[in-house]
Amino acid sequence: MRSVVPVLTVVGAIFVLWYLAAIWLNAAWAYDKATRAGVTLSASELVADTWAQDKPKLPAPHQVGAEIWKTTGAMVAKGRAFSKRSLIYHSWVTLSATLLGFALGTGLGVLLAVGIVYNTVMDRSVMPWVITSQTIPILALAPMIIVVLNAVGISGLLPKAMISMYLSFFPVVVGMVKGLRSPEVMQLDQMRTWNASPSQTFWRLRLPASMPYLFASLKVAMAASLVGAIVGELPTGAVAGLGARLLAGSYYGQTIQIWSALITAAALAAALVALIGVIQRVTLRRMGMA
């Protein structure tokens, strides 16, 4: 609780800097307009103009806020929450790919981790490649994967989800391997004195012990998964999704649209990570760990 004031101060400072930067970056265009209209701008007029341009270099926060409201709340009020102009629709497209990819990635990650923990051959030969796989900037190749899968008739949700999966399986593998190995020798010996079978050791000791590690990785994986989904939307010809909004905005110089998509993506990431945090707290409390 004692960090609320500092955090609010920093956030406030960011907003102040944002407004100042908006004046600085947009001033050139404002002066340009004024010269052509043959008027001189007073300081307050200049500020007012830089905060209210149609296609500013950097839109002011309230412009972005208004755009987000126009494309979400106002659309809902008109009963067109899922029209193609609505950010809710685009967010949903991105969200569904994110969640599918996240589920696939978590599944793959947990399976790989179990294999790595129980099989020395896999541990020694696969683990280095799991790490290497993340030094390859696969995200940059996402568009190619999308286009190629499209060419063979796989389109829609799955290609984007594949990219999310690739990005999200890694934190899960690393976290789960650590978590499944976290029981101490003492606890493993205890299981042995109870004559527990390997599967009993797994279900009753290793898996529960890995939960805190799993949740920490899930948060990272969720954020990575969203990034994957957004980048995966770039090459689909800007049809739908937050990534498509970014690309369309950059084609037509609609900076306010870019920023509103960006802020929505940020809010989505924050909400998803917070959701996992809540699940984590409830689960760990019921398991008696928190």
Partner 1 sequence: MGWLVFAAAAWAGGWALNIWLARQPASALVRLAMPVVFGVTLIAVWEGVVRGLDVSAVLLPAPSAIGQAFVGNLAILWEDFVQTVIKGALTGYVIGCGAAVLTAIAIDRSDFLKRGLLPVGNFVAALPIIGMAPILVMWFGFDWQSKAAVVVVMVFFPVLVNTVEGLQASDQMQRDLMRTYAASSAATLAKLRMPMAMPFIFNGLKIATTLALIGAIVAEFFGSPIRGMGFRISTSVGQLALDLVWAEIVVAALAGSAAYGGVALIERAVTFWHPSQRARS
- Quote the least distance from Cβ 176 to partner 1, whole Å: 19
- Quote the least distance from Cβ 220 to partner 1, whole Å: 8
Q: Which of 84, 28, 83 is nearest to 53 (CA)?
A: 28
Q: Which is nearer to partner 1, 23 or 127 (CB)?
A: 127
Which residue type occupies 250? S
Q: Which is nearer to partner 1, 25 or 157 (CB)?
A: 25
- Quote the least distance from Cβ 266 to partner 1, whole Å: 5
- Quote the least distance from Cβ 202 to partner 1, whole Å: 21
Q: Which is nearer to partner 1, 99 or 226 (CB)?
A: 226
Output the DSSP codes for 233-289: HGGGTS-SSHHHHHHHHHHHT-HHHHHHHHHHHHHHHHHHHHHHHHHHHHHHHHTT-
Q: Which is nearer to partner 1, 113 or 231 (CB)?
A: 231
- What φ, ψ does residue 242 adopt, rounded to 5°? -65, -35
Q: Among positive and negative, which fits the CA dihedral 135, 140, 146, 147?
A: negative
Q: Which is nearer to partner 1, 101 or 191 (CB)?
A: 101
**Cα–Cα distance list, 267 to 213, 239, 242, 260 (Å):** 25, 21, 12, 10
56: left (phi over 0), alpha (psi -120 to 50) or beta: beta
Interacting residue ranges for partner 1, rule: CB under 8 A: 2-3, 5-11, 14, 25, 57, 120-121, 124-129, 132, 134-137, 139-141, 143-144, 147-148, 151-152, 219-220, 223, 226-227, 230-231, 234-235, 242-243, 246-247, 249-250, 253, 255, 258-259, 261-262, 265-266, 269-270, 273
- Quote the least distance from Cβ 59 to partner 1, whole Å: 10
| Residue 269 · residue 99 · CB < 8 Å | no
- Quote the least distance from Cβ 226 to partner 1, whole Å: 6
Q: Which is nearer to partner 1, 191 or 231 (CB)?
A: 231
- Quote the least distance from Cβ 246 to partner 1, whole Å: 6
Q: Which is nearer to partner 1, 157 or 262 (CB)?
A: 262
Report the alpha-carbon distance of residue 101 to residue 147 in Å, rounded: 18
CA 56 to chain centre: 26
- Quote the least distance from Cβ 121 to partner 1, whole Å: 5
Q: Which is nearer to partner 1, 131 or 289 (CB)?
A: 131
| Residue 230 · residue 163 · CB < 8 Å | no
Report the alpha-carbon distance of residue 220 to residue 216 in Å, rounded: 7
Q: How many helices (H) and strands (E) does the chain have?
A: 13, 0
Burial class (CB in 10 A: 0-12, 13-18, 19+), 153: exposed
- Helix, strand or coil for residue 73? helix
